[in-house]
Amino acid sequence: MRRSRFSSGAVVLRRMPEGWRYLLLRVFHTWDFPKGGVESGESALGAAMREVAEETALLDLKFRWGEVYMETEPYSAGKIARYYVAESPGGQVRLLANPELGRPEHHEFRWVQFSLARGLLPLRLQPILSWAHRVTGADDLPPQA
């Protein structure tokens, strides 16, 4: 059983030739990071990993910055979302069908630089994005060889 007022997810980054990129998912007009409810008996980190896999098909996540997290302020009737920071070194994103819905939960995904992510994400996720950017030291410059 899911705790309806608490969800867990991850700010997923990937190092690309042009620099670090953030994975954003869109449902209708709202962009977000992969996240979902925490199952009974499941850890928040375990839920974050499961939700990323279920929503994007990305299985190989590296928590190279540790198991640090940040939570949103309460939103939408008191819901709180916890986000970890993970690197996805490879793998193709696929928006998989949710068995309960019979279709994918999201309409689109994008790997975007920090400045574009800041423009797309809703106000409640701006502190999460800024925190992840500080934690990772990721920027829009190409990675050094």
Greater pLDDT, 9 or 101: 9
CATH architecture of 2-136: Alpha-Beta Complex (3.90)
| pLDDT for res 1 | 37
| pLDDT for res 76 | 87
pLDDT tens digits, one per residue of 49-71? 999 999 999 999 999 999 999 99
Sequence-distant (≥ 6) Cβ neighbours of residue 22 within 8 angstroms? 11, 12, 13, 33, 111, 112, 113, 114, 117, 129, 132
Domain spans, the chain: 2-136
The pTM (predicted TM-score) of the whole model is: 0.90
| pLDDT for res 2 | 45
